[in-house]
């Protein structure tokens, strides 16, 4: 005896639920062992030894072990006349033993985790629940008819079938494509399930040895209704015993489908086809019955209609009642709802517009993550075409040979369309265009709520976003996010602007570099080892300005960034600005993330005539620190030096940090004089530790008694502006009633 079979035989003999275990019997490459299993019947029927539905106190069972046991699980069978009006029973043909479904997943996995004892325990538990009517709890939902073991299948949207199939029981006839051999068939219905004239075609592959063929075939949907045409709720399980045309019609009739109409259509189509064609293989037609159940289906919340597909194969010159019919499994066609469910996301009715500015390596991966999680309605904006070197990191693979490489945006639109997102569009545009032009913005962003994700890593696009009329008008429903990487992917970031742009991307970037001043770890990783853009030669005399980086680094960042975006889209974008930055950990595999929320940025218009073309933005953290320091000094004026970032293209100054007043500074109720002891060194250190992003941009001081800039303040500002040699300088004044600022540029 095979050692593995011997071990199984011993386990069966020793299990307390089994008696009369037979010796192993060899046959057809498999080994069968029979036994009797004790069933715990409800108290009220124990004396009778059998339940009202025919389950006995002792049931015969068979364990059939495959050749690759113990890598594969045995198949468990019950007697031929075992009750079939139960859930969790696999399709059955009259005269065959009954095959119960014992485990939610693959039995092979069960036997690897719990061994043969686990299979026996599951069978014992299954029979006990079957005897007491507890195989299913309707509060959890209706268990669909088991079709896991079937080899023929049909792919279509059950939700579309429910909507498109007439509610009065008349037939919906549409089309599909199929791939088949003599015993199996896989069909895919036309998307949308439109009403189409039936058509069957058959084509063979080029190789004559192949036994497979393919083509088009009709697909018929029939809803089960009562005598007056209302949906008929079927609350009892019926055995899946369909095996020929006659048993299919009987099944349809029992469930409430218009079997006469179904028979007329099928026989009429078959007769008409065979009058004009001769096919030894016959023809195939898919029939799908829609049955109303008393509860939503398990795994399909909100849908209480079960779909039961069948593959009908007519082989003669007309339809015979003995022609074969195979029960088939149903698979959902790819759709946003299916993707959401598979991703574990709650189905949402929100169709908020998503705009991807840039479809490069990071943007393409983020978009695919979003699309695969069920998020669609994405507009792709990019004016570049794919190039061979994009194959190193782009989410999509550029074609190896082509006369003209496709645009990145159009490739992304097609990829998302294949995932069922038919509402995605592409725009062959420079990403700056919709930001700067209101007309283009309405076309690309739409006029309703939209989330715009900038992944271009372009300073020009970032600058355009600062002055964008498409984002900055009053009560704009559009929100801007920005995602990117530094230091060959060791650092990744995601910025989310605040509501009504009370915090902007430029503020969040300045805050990130201010954080570097106080975190050596962040600073070290952000600086990297040569993170500047590099000319990569992708051909003789052909270069691409890019950051050398492994695809795995981009994928890591894209996955984590996408996860946060998905959370925001599901729960609502935060009202405050959000700065998320991830830093590669010491293993070089994972990332450690931190998130900071920024309050509204203070936007000031300079009070003096010379600075009226400039805007000054003071981060909330800076404004709060100045307010606290000013109040702590009471009646005396105080102050310090300001650190910020200047954008000459947008004429914007962002104040992101402070340098404390030197110890030789003088504070009186009338004046504040900024000292010089160690000031230059402190400013240089601040510039270096912010990785050169923040510079000395001017000074601040307090006016505890209020008032505007004094003559001394203006003179001091002028002197600083002279030293800056053409770079604007600012003087920020704190007053109890609010801040004022002056800007000077000479």
Q: 89-122: per-residue pLDDT in tens?
A: 888 888 899 999 998 788 999 999 999 999 999 9
| Residue 532 confidence (pLDDT) above 90 | no
pLDDT of residue 732 exceeding 60, the answer is yes
| CA 81, chain centre distance (Å) | 46
482-499 pLDDT, tens digit each: 999 999 899 999 999 999
pLDDT bucket at 136, cuts 50 / 70 / 90: confident
How do beta strands 425-427 and 378-381 pair? parallel
- The answer to whether 427 and 383 have CB atoms below 8 angstroms apart is no
Number of other residues whose CB lies within 10 A of the CB of residue 556: 20
pLDDT digits (tens, 9 = 90+) for 577-587: 999 999 999 99
Among 240, 245, 251, CA closest to 284:
245
Q: How far apart are CA 151 and CA 153, in angstroms?
A: 7
Which element (helix H / strand E) includes 667?
strand 666-667
Q: State the Cα–Cα distance between residues 531 and 468, nearest whole angstrom.
A: 29
- Dmax (CA) of the chain: 109
Closest CA to 734 of 665, 655, 663, 649: 655
Which has the minimum average pLDDT: 259-268, 338-347, 390-399, 478-487?
Answer: 338-347
> What is d(CA 276, CA 269) in angstroms, rounded to the nearest whole number?
11
Measure the CA–CA gap between 407 and 398, rounded to whole angstroms.
10
**Contacts of 540 by beta carbon, 8 Å cutoff, 6+ apart:** none
User: What DSSP line would sit under 336-369, residue for residue?
Assistant: HHHHHHHHTPPP-----EEEEE--SHHHHHHHHH
Residue 387's DSSP bridge partners are none
Which residues are CB-neighbours of 564 under 8 A, at least 6 positions away? 494, 580
Give the residues across from 140 on adjacent strands.
Answer: none
Domain at 602-744: CATH code: 3.40.140.10
What's the CA gap between 388 and 544, in Å, rounded?
A: 11
Give the chain's length: 746
- Extract the runs of DSSP E, i.e. beta strands, from 66-209: 75-78, 153-155, 172-180, 185-189
pLDDT score, position 241: 85
Q: What is the DSSP letter of 449?
A: -
The confidence score (pLDDT) of residue 531 equals 47
- Distance CA(146)–CA(98), nearest Å, equals 12
Report the alpha-carbon distance of residue 296 to residue 139 in Å, rounded: 9
DSSP 497: P
Contact yes or no for 69/62 (Cβ under 8 A): no
Continuous H helices in 641-704: 679-689
- H/E stretch holding 191 reads none
For the chain, give percent helix, strand, coil, nearest 5: 30, 25, 40
Give yes or no for a contact between 193 and 160, defined as CB atoms under 8 angstroms apart. yes
Mean pLDDT of 272-284: 84
Above 80 in pLDDT, residue 540? no
- CB atoms under 10 Å from CB of 105, counted, come to 9
| Measured CA distances, 531 to 218, 389, 548, 744 (Å) | 59, 19, 8, 34
- Whether 3-132 shares its CATH topology with 602-744 is answered no
Query: Rounded to an integer, what distance in angstroms lies between the CA atom of residue 374 and that of residue 495?
Result: 23
Distance CA(260)–CA(376), nearest Å, equals: 43
In sequence order, the β-bridge partners of residue 717 are none
* Three-state SS at 603: strand
- Separation between Cα atoms, residue 689 and residue 702, nearest integer Å: 27
What is the model's pLDDT at position 609?
79
* CATH architecture type of domain 340-598: 3-Layer(aba) Sandwich (3.40)
Neighbours of 390 (CB within 10 A): 23
Beta strands at 695-702 and 615-618: parallel, antiparallel or unpaired: unpaired
DSSP string, 513-581: HHHHHH-HHHHHHHHTTT-S-EEEEEETTEEEEE----HHHHHHHHHHHHHHHHHHHHH---SSEEEEE
**What confidence score (pLDDT) does residue 610 get?**
75
The pLDDT, as a whole number, for residue 348 is 59
What is the pLDDT confidence band of residue 527, given thresholds at 50, 70 and 90? confident
Domains of the chain: which residue ranges?
A: 3-132, 153-333, 340-598, 602-744
Q: How far apart are alpha carbons 50 and 68 in whole angstroms?
A: 37
**H helices of 73-172, where?**
107-132, 158-164
CATH for 3-132 is 3.10.110.10
319 has a pLDDT exceeding 60: yes
Q: What percent of the chain has pLDDT over 70?
A: 95
Bridge partner list, 385:
407
Cα 54 to Cα 47: distance, rounded to the nearest angstrom: 14
Residue 533, pLDDT > 60, answer no
Cβ-Cβ contacts under 8 Å for 140 (sequence gap 6 or more):
298
Is residue 245 predicted with pLDDT exceeding 90?
yes
The pLDDT of residue 281 is above 80: no
């Amino acid at each position: 005896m095979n050692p593995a079979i011997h071990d199984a035989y011993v386990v069966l003999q020793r299990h307390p639920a089994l008696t009369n275990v037979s010796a192993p019997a060899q046959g057809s490459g498999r080994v069968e062992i029979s036994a009797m299993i004790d069933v715990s019947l409800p108290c009220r029927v124990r004396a009778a030894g059998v339940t009202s539905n025919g389950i006995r106190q002792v049931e015969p069972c068979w364990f059939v072990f495959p050749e690759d046991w113990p890598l594969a699980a045995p198949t468990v069978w019950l007697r031929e006349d075992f009750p079939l009006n139960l859930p969790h029973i696999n399709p059955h043909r009259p005269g065959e033993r009954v095959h119960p479904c014992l485990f939610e997943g693959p039995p092979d996995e069960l036997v690897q985790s719990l061994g043969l004892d686990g299979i026996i325990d599951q069978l014992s538990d299954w029979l006990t629940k079957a005897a007491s009517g507890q195989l299913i709890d309707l509060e959890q939902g209706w268990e669909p008819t088991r079709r896991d073991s079937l080899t023929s299948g049909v792919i279509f949207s059950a939700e579309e079938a429910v909507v498109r199939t007439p509610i009065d029981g008349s037939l919906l006839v549409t089309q599909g494509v199929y791939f088949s051999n003599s015993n199996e068939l896989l069909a895919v219905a036309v998307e949308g399930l439109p009403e189409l004239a039936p058509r069957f075609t058959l084509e063979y592959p080029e190789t004559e040895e192949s036994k497979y063929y393919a083509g088009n075939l009709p697909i018929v949907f029939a809803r089960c209704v009562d005598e007056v045409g209302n949906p008929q709720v079927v609350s009892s399980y019926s055995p899946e015993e369909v095996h020929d045309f006659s048993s299919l019609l009987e099944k349809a009739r029992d469930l409430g489908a218009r079997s006469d109409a179904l028979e007329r259509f099928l026989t009429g189509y078959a007769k008409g086809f065979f009058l004009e064609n001769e096919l030894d293989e016959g023809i195939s037609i898919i029939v799908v019955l829609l049955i109303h159940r008393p509860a939503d289906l398990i795994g399909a919340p909100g849908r209480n209609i079960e779909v039961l597909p069948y593959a009908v194969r007519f082989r003669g010159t007309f339809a015979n009642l003995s022609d074969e019919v195979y029960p088939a499994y149903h698979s959902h066609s790819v759709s946003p709802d299916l993707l959401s469910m598979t991703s574990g996301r709650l189905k949402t009715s929100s169709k908020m517009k998503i705009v991807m500015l840039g479809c490069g390596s990071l943007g393409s991966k983020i978009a695919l993550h979003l699309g695969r999680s069920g998020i669609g309605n994405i507009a792709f904006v990019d004016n570049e075409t794919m190039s061979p070197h994009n194959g190193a990191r782009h989410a999509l693979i550029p074609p190896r040979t082509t006369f003209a490489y496709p645009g990145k945006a159009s490739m992304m639109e097609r990829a998302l369309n294949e995932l069922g997102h038919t509402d995605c569009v592409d725009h062959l545009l420079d990403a700056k265009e919709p930001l700067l032009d209101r007309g283009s913005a309405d076309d690309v962003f739409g006029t309703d709520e939209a989330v715009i994700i900038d992944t271009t890593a372009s300073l020009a696009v970032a600058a355009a976003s600062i002055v964008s009329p498409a984002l900055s008008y009053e009560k704009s429903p559009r929100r801007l996010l920005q995602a990117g990487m530094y230091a060959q992917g060791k650092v990744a970031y995601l910025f989310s602007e605040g509501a009504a742009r009370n915090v902007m991307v430029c503020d969040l970037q300045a805050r990130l570099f201010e954080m570097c001043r106080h975190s050596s770890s962040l600073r070290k990783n952000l600086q990297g080892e040569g993170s500047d853009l590099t000319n990569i030669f992708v051909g003789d005399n052909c270069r691409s300005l890019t950051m050398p980086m492994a695809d795995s680094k981009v994928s890591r960042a894209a996955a984590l960034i996408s996860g946060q975006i998905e959370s925001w889209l599901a729960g609502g974008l935060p009202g405050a600005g959000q700065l998320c930055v991830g830093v590669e950990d010491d293993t070089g595999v994972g990332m450690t993330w931190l998130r900071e929320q920024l309050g509204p940025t203070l936007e000031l218009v300079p009070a003096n005539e010379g600075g009226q073309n400039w805007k000054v933005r003071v981060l909330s953290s800076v404004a709060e620190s100045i307010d606290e320091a000013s109040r702590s000094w009471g009646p005396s004026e105080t102050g310090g030096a300001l650190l910020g970032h200047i954008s000459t293209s947008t004429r914007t100054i962002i104040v992101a940090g402070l340098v404390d007043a030197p110890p030789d500074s003088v504070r009186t109720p009338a004046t504040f004089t900024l000292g010089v002891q160690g000031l230059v060194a402190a400013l240089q250190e601040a510039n270096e530790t912010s990785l050169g992003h923040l510079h000395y941009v001017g000074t601040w001081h307090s006016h505890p008694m209020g008032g505007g800039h004094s003559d001394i303040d203006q003179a001091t500002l002028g002197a600083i502006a002279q030293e800056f040699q053409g770079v604007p300088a600012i003087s920020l004044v704190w007053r109890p009633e609010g801040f004022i600022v002056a800007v000077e540029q000479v």
